[in-house]
Amino acid sequence: MRELTQEEQLAIQTVRAFVKNELAPMAKKIDEDDVFPVETVRKLGELGLMGMFVPNEWEGAGLSHYLYALAVEEISSASAAVGTIVSAHSSLAVWPILRFGTDAQKKRLLPPMAKGEAIGCFCLTEPEAGSDAANLKTSYSKHASDGYTLSGAKAFITNASRAKTAIVFATKDRSLRHRGISAFLLDMETPGVLVGKPEKKLGIHGADSCPVDFDEVFLPKECLLGNEGDGFRIAMATLDGGRIGIAAQAVGIARGAFERAAAYARTRAQFGRPIVEFQAIGWMLADMLTKIEASRMLVLRAAELKDSGGRSTLYSSMAKLFAAETAMETATKAVQVLGGYGYIKDYELERFFRDAKITEIYEGSSEIQRLVLANELKKENFAL
Ligand code: COS
C-alpha cells in the first residue's frame, strides 16, 4: 500500500464526505425502492466519480485506479448497489474505450461518460453464455453499406435500463469460438435495441440488471472497438479491471457489515457485560478485521499493477476471489453477532448479507477466479 498524493487525499475526502452526508442516509431507501437512483448518480457525475481514472483530456478526474478502488470501497460501504453502478460504468464501459478506442471514439464518447451524463453498460453475458463467455451466440455480419448488423440476446446487463453507451460482444462465426468475437460500441437508442424489465434480485436493489435484445441492429463501421476478432481478448482485459472494482466493492460491503457488528458488540450487554468481551464474539470480529485488511491489500496491489500498465490478471482474480468470500463470510457472521436484530430490516445488516452474495457470482464466479488463477500458474513464465 502506498501513500496517497495530495490530490488523491483531497479526492478521497470528497468521496467520504459524499458517502457520509448524502449516500449513507439514502442507502436504505435505494434498497427498498429498488429503482435506479438517478439523482445520486447525477451527483456522482458532478463530483467526478463517474470518470475517476479518465484523463483530464477527456474531461475525467485524471486519478489513478488505486484511488478508484478506494472510492468504490467507500461507496459500497454505504450502498453496494451504487458501488455496482459506478464499477460497471467505469471499469466495464469507460475503460475499454479508453484502452482500445480510437481518438475519434474517445472524443465522442468519453466526456459525457466521465461526467455521468451518459451511463455505460457491458453486454457480454447471454442466457446460455455466462462462465463460458466465448460460447456467446449474438451474431454480427458485414452490412452492404460497410457497417455491421447485430442480432441476439444478452442477459443480466447492469445499468442497461439507463445506459446510453454499450460495449457489445458478438460473433461472426461460432465455430471460431473466441477468435470469431468482435466488440462494438453501441448507442442504446439505436433502432432494434430492446431493453427488458430489470430482474428482481436478492440484493443490490437499484442497480438494474436487464435482458437486452438486438433485432437486426445496424452499426456503422466506426462502431467497431479494436480490430475484428479481438473482442474476446478485449472482454477479458476489461474484466481484469472490472474484477478489481468488484473486489473493492466486496471490501466495502465487508467493512460496512463489520463496522455495524463491532459497534453492536461493544454496546450490547448480555450476562452482565458487553458481548465483545466474550471470546466467541471477539474472535469472530478479529477474524473479520484481518480478512478485510488482507482483501484491501490484494485489491490495492491489483490496482497498482493496473496503474503501471501491466497485466493484473493474477492479482485481479486473487483480489476478487478473496474479497468476495470475505464479504460473504463477514456479512454472515455480522448477522450472527446481532442475532435476531441482524435478521430484521431496521438494522440494515440483512441488506449487507443479501448484497454480499453477488460479489461471489458476477464478473466471474469464485469458481472462475480459481480457474483463471490455476491457468495463470500453469504458464512457464509464472512468477509472483
Ligand atoms: N487479458 C487478455 N487476454 C486474455 C485474458 C486476459 N486477462 N485472458 C485470456 N485472454 C486471451 C488468451 O490469451 C487467449 O488468446 P489467444 O487468442 O491468443 O489464444 C484468449 O483470450 C482465450 O483465452 P482462454 O483460452 O483462456 O479462454 P476460455 O474460453 O478458456 O475462457 C475464462 C476463459 C473461463 C477465464 C473466461 O471465459 C471467463 O473469464 N469467463 C467468465 C466470464 C465473466 O466473467 N463473465 C461476467 C461478465 S460481466 S457480469
Each residue's pLDDT tens digit, 77-125 = 999 999 999 999 999 999 999 999 999 999 999 999 999 999 999 999 9
Instruction: Quick: pLDDT tens for 54-82.
Output: 999 999 999 999 999 999 999 999 999 99
136: which DSSP letter?
A: -
**Nearest ligand 1 atom to alpha carbon 177:** 29
| Residue 66 grid cell | 488505486
CA distance linking residue 233 with residue 96, whole number of Å: 11
CATH number at residue 60: 1.10.540.10
CA angle 121, 71, 328 (to 5 degrees): 80
CA distance linking residue 74 with residue 67, whole number of Å: 11
- pTM equals 0.97
Which of 207, 231, 255 terminates a domain? The answer is: 231
Q: What is the distance in A from the centroid of ligand 1 to the CA of 234? A: 9
Which of 59, 91, 119 terminates a domain? The answer is: 119
Q: What is the distance in A from the centroid of ligand 1 to the CA of 197? A: 29
Q: What is the distance in A from the centroid of ligand 1 to the CA of 375? A: 10
Burial profile 331-342: b = 16 or more Cβ within 10 angstroms, e = fewer: bebbbebbeeeb
CATH number at residue 126: 2.40.110.10
- What pLDDT is stored for residue 106 in this prediction? 98
257 and 320 assigned to the same domain: yes
Residues 6+ apart with CB under 8 A from 53: 60, 61, 62, 63, 64, 65, 67, 68, 90, 94, 95, 98
216 and 127 assigned to the same domain: yes
55 and 166 assigned to the same domain: no
Q: Is the pLDDT of residue 1 over 90?
A: no
Q: Is 217 helix (H, G, I), strand (E, B) or coil?
A: strand
- What pLDDT is stored for residue 143 in this prediction? 83
Residues 6+ apart with CB under 8 A from 277: none
Q: Is residue 335 part of a domain?
A: yes
Name the residue range of residue 165's domain.
Answer: 121-231
130 and 226 assigned to the same domain: yes
Q: What is the distance in A from the centroid of ligand 1 to the CA of 92? A: 15
Name the residue among 304, 273, 297, 283 with its Cα closest to residue 67: 304
Angstrom CA distances, 110 to 57, 187, 322, stand at: 10, 13, 32
The binding-site residues of ligand 1, defined as CB within 6 angstroms of any ligand atom, are: 122, 124-125, 131, 133-134, 178-179, 232-233, 236-237, 239-240, 313, 362-364, 368, 371-372
210 and 260 assigned to the same domain: no
- Compute the average pLDDT of residues 199-215: 98
135 and 40 assigned to the same domain: no
Residue type, 371: L
Give residue for cell 435478521: 343
Helices (H) and strands (E) in the chain, counts: 12, 10
Q: Whose CA is nearest to atom 3 of ligand 1?
A: 233
- What pLDDT is stored for residue 59 in this prediction? 98
Active site residues: 363
| Number of domain units in the chain | 3
Name the residue among 215, 212, 186 with its Cα closest to residue 199: 212
Phi, then psi, of 2 in degrees rounded to 5 = -115, 165
CATH number at residue 360: 1.20.140.10
Instruction: Quick: pLDDT tens for 303-318.
Output: 999 999 999 999 999 9
> What is the band of 235 on the pLDDT scale with cuts at 50, 70, 90?
very high
**Nearest ligand 1 atom to alpha carbon 371:** 35
Q: Whose CA is nearest to atom 21 of ligand 1?
A: 233
**Nearest ligand 1 atom to alpha carbon 124:** 47
Mutate to test the pocket of ligand 1, among 204, 232, 358 (most ligand atoms within 8 A of CB): 232
Q: What is the distance in A from the centroid of ligand 1 to the CA of 32? A: 36
Q: Whose CA is nearest to atom 43 of ligand 1?
A: 364
Q: What is the distance in A from the centroid of ligand 1 to the CA of 233? A: 7
Please, which contacts does 94-97 make with residues 24 or more away whose CB atoms are closer than 8 Å?
Answer: 94/50, 94/51, 94/53, 94/54, 94/120, 95/53, 95/238, 95/241, 96/167, 96/183, 96/225, 96/234, 96/237, 96/238, 97/165, 97/167, 97/185, 97/225
Mutate to test the pocket of ligand 1, among 154, 178, 371 (most ligand atoms within 8 A of CB): 178
Instruction: Quick: pLDDT tens for 134-186.
Output: 999 999 999 888 899 999 999 999 999 999 999 999 999 999 999 999 999 99
Angstrom CA distances, 349 to 81, 105, 256, 275, 322, stand at: 14, 43, 9, 18, 21
Q: Is residue 253 part of a domain?
A: yes
Across the chain, what does the average pLDDT equal?
Answer: 97
Question: Using alpha carbons only, how large is the chain's radius of gyration in Å?
Answer: 21
CA distance linking residue 363 with residue 197, whole number of Å: 21
| Residue 119 grid cell | 451511463
CA distance linking residue 304 with residue 213, whole number of Å: 37
Which of 63, 89, 119 terminates a domain? The answer is: 119
